[in-house]
Structure 1
Amino acid sequence: MQKIGFSGTLDPITNGHMWVIGEARSLADEVIVFLSQNPAKKPQFPAEDRKRIIEQSARECGWDNVQVVIVKGDYTARAAKKHGCDYLIRGIRTTADFDYENLIQQTNVDVLQGAKTIFVMPPRDLGSVSSSFVKALEGPVGWNWTMKKFVPGPAYQAWILDCLRKEWQALWHYATAPAEQIARFDHWFAHLTGSDAYGGADRHYHNLDHLVHGLSEIRVWADNTYAAPRDSALVKKAFWFHDAVYGHDEDALYSSEEASAQLWLGSGLDADDNQEVAQLIRATDHFQGPAIAHVLKDVMLSADLAILGQDEEVYQAYTQAIAREYAHVEPTRFNQQRGLALQHLSAKAQAGQLFGDAYFSNQYNQRAIENMQREIVALARA
């Protein structure tokens, strides 16, 4: 078979879709993904962005025989025929899927004189994965770690950037801000999510994942404790900047935390909250933090350390990311230093002092102890 087509809205493309495209590649010399623009649907991403995401996902897999075509104002089965595809391929997960797809297939062939359909059944671990399933994951604490398992990297990256953009715009009240302020807001969003900050290639943990997770923690803390909107905003602003500068240069003029605080102070984003936000950023420095007094300091530190109390799978992903971020350190020395840090944090948790905020302590303290003790044992054996 020379060409085979695969069609859908693909918002976002999932690992299930990628599996079907992979099956198509085993049947044909060339695969064309027909990206439909359905006016009845309101996609998260415009068609051009979805096209780019699919192309990037294919390249990451090393697939050089997959192209993407946006279909406007036509049926995808008819468009497929025009592009030389006699067949479309569809994944069937359930009997309901088959009944629906079989009806579509009959319409495509009998009414539209379009491409016929080949049905394939995905493996069990992908049987429930769909775009709507993935979309439904967004929101609760840790949603990003769960989503990452079900979509290719480019789709995940685009999704969390879109989520962060919404968080940022809500924080700075874009709807009522003047144009010159919006330009400044956009500049700092691009900086913070770009390669010079959380989006940097060498950021394996202190990255966009950490930013999404921390902001989710703060939002849920505020919802559950009925925190004042200004308190929530202060902590969020500090969290956006607290690891904006992150390095390992012991000869640097400032610590990473102080450098991040200086970055905030020079941003010109909010003169009213300048010093308070800077103090919360400085509080995340474990050497200087205890000397810093702010009523929200415990919330800021707790949100930053909340990763320690996540479920085992997320915690393991975190430890692997930390190891990659410190790959420049000799392994034996890293294990020793990491072990000492964990022993210190574990002792604080056992004394009930790791999470200074009661909400976070109730949520995460016991699990943090279990996670850290398990890692300490593993490091001792390494």
Structure 2
Amino acid sequence: MNKTTHRRAVYAGSFDPPTKGHLWMIQEAQPLFDELIVAIGINPEKNSTYSLSERKEMLQAITADFPNVTISSFENQYLVNYAQSVGADFIIRGIRTAFDYEYERSMRHINHDLQPNISTLFLMPPREYAEVSSTMVKGLVGPDNWTEIIRRYVPEAVYEKIIEDHIRTQKETK
């Protein structure tokens, strides 16, 4: 019997804002699957800089060239249970540091306990993205020459959004 399977994976994060590291993960993961769901995890205890709709728009802009990538979101559920609810067989996670490895290794075991049919795939970004995080990018906004510095760390559509928001905020505070 020839059984055809649809390989679906979930790559989740806060994406507040999406970085070049996030885009690298998407670029590397998407050819491995028929469908890659990039899911924004909503944490009500975390104050986001960008709204859910803004993060979705930025992700849609930077993934427009990947027809097998869809943007989604989830709230108030474990990632592994969300993956199960959308029929994913894989969760994609990035490992940047030894701390990430230890945390993700533990989460992989917990996820397996909750949903044994979902596998976790780890990707290690190249050195130029290993230290990039959304928090770091947000912390760079403001001082002299910040626009050229953050341009190195975020995709062009995200860069334009950050600049637009900064200009609007400056006008509102004057």
* 1:58 and 2:63 matched: yes
Name the structure with the higher strand share. Answer: 2
1:174-213 mapped onto 2 (5 Å cutoff): none
Structure 1 residue 4: deviation in Å? 1.2
Matched, 1:33 2:33: no
Q: Distance in 1 between matches of 2:74 and 2:119?
A: 17
Q: How does 1:162-311 map to 2 (within 5 A)?
A: 162-171=165-174
Q: Gaps spanning 5+ residues in structure 1: where?
A: 172-382
Could you report, residue by residue, the CA deviation over 1:110-150 in whole angstroms, capped at 9, with x for unpaired residues? 14668331111111111111111211211111101111111
Tell me which residue corresponds to 1:144: 147
- For 1:11 and 1:74, the matched residues in 2 are separated by 19
Question: Aligned equivalents of 1:88 and 1:17: distance in 2?
Answer: 14
* Equivalent in the alignment of 2:52: 47
- When residues 38 and 143 of structure 1 are mapped into structure 2, their CA distance, relative to the original with a 3 A threshold, is same
TM (normalized to structure 2)? 0.91
Indicate if the aligned counterparts of 2:93 and 2:123 stay in contact, CA closer than 8 A. yes
Q: Does 1:86 align with 2:89?
A: yes
Q: Which residue is 2:3 aligned to?
A: none
Find out whether 1:109 has 2:112 as its counterpart. yes
Is residue 118 from structure 1 mapped to residue 121 from structure 2 by the alignment?
A: yes
How much identity, in percent, do the aligned residues show?
A: 34
What is the one-letter code of the residue matched to 1:16?
G
Out of 135, 138, 142, the position equivalent to 2:138 is 135
In the other structure, the counterpart of 1:96 is 99
**CA RMSD in angstroms, aligned pairs only:** 1.5
Residue of structure 1 in register with 2:23 after alignment: 18
Is the CA contact (8 Å cut-off) linking 1:34 and 1:76 kept in structure 2?
Answer: no
Using structure 1 for the length normalisation, give the TM-score.
Answer: 0.43
Q: How many pairs does the alignment contain? A: 169
Conserved 8 A contact 2:84-2:115: no
1:186-227 deviation per Cα after TM superposition (whole angstroms, max 9, x unaligned): xxxxxxxxxxxxxxxxxxxxxxxxxxxxxxxxxxxxxxxxxx
Find the aligned partners of 2:49 and 2:160 in 1 and give their Cα distance: 13
2:39 partner letter = F
Q: Kindly report which structure 2 residues correspond to 1:306-317, keeping only aligned pairs within 5 A, or say none.
A: none
Answer yes or no: is 1:72 the counterpart of 2:72: no
Q: Secondary structure at 2:170's aligned position in 1?
A: helix
**Which amino acid in 2 is paired with 1:12?**
P
Larger % of helix: which? 1
Distance 1:132 1:3 in 2: 29
- Write out the 4+ residue segments of structure 1 that deviate beyond 6 Å after TM superposition: none
Q: CA–CA distance in 2 between the matches of 1:104 and 1:160?
A: 36
Gaps of 5+ in 2: 1-5
- Tell me if the contact between 2:80 and 2:114 (Cα under 8 Å) persists in the aligned partners: no
